[in-house]
Amino acid sequence: MRIIAGKAGRLSIKVPASVTRPTTDFVRQAIFSILGETVENARVLDLFAGSGAIGLEALSRGAASCTFVDDHRQACTVISENLTKSRLDGGRAVKADVASFLKRDACVYDLIFADPPYWKHYGDKDLAGDLLKSGLLVPRLASDARLIVEISASQTSPVAENLTLTDRREYGGSAILMYALM
């Protein structure tokens, strides 16, 4: 796993294998190609951050800041190590449950990435759908912000009040959903 482009481009990063399913280089490249210059100077929130690969990519490409949120201690440790190794400024790792963090956070973000564990079998908890329906994301989004959610390609796109699905792209077993405020 590596940072693809920007200040820390081509740098290898650690992945906490026991607690994450990292977004592939190919999918990250596609996301950041779509986002283009909107990443520059953006305030970024990386939810279910895992290795921090998405947020690190944003910082490397010029984001002003990134808050990485994950509820696994090992993931937060790896994110901190990756931030140190990459020498990227503006990042901080927060060990917290995503819903709890969003309830107490008062910041507004330009880009929010959410890559919860995938729904795999009928009857599994749909973390992406639950998060979108919770209403916790809307107050954290700047007026022209984008919310990017990664789900299994076999899932239907969750619907959320006050958010509009602007794009869905599938890459192998992953689907990338882009939402904006209504």
Q: What is the pLDDT of residue 123?
A: 64
Q: Provide the token pair at 113.
A: 């990435």
Percentage of the chain beyond pLDDT 90 is 76
* Digit-coded pLDDT (tens) for 14-37: 887 766 567 788 899 999 999 999
Task: Give CA–CA dist 57/114, Å, rounded.
Answer: 14
User: Span 75-86, mean pLDDT?
Assistant: 95
User: Span 128-134, mean pLDDT?
Assistant: 94
Task: Give CA–CA dist 90/96, Å, rounded.
Answer: 19
With respect to CATH, is domain 25-181 assigned 3.30.450.40?
A: no
Look at the chain and count its residues.
182
- Strand ordering across the sheet containing 91-95: 91-95, 65-70, 43-47, 109-114, 141-152, 174-181, 163-171
Q: What is this structure's pTM?
A: 0.93
Is residue 148 a contact partner of residue 114, using CB atoms and an 8 Å limit?
A: yes
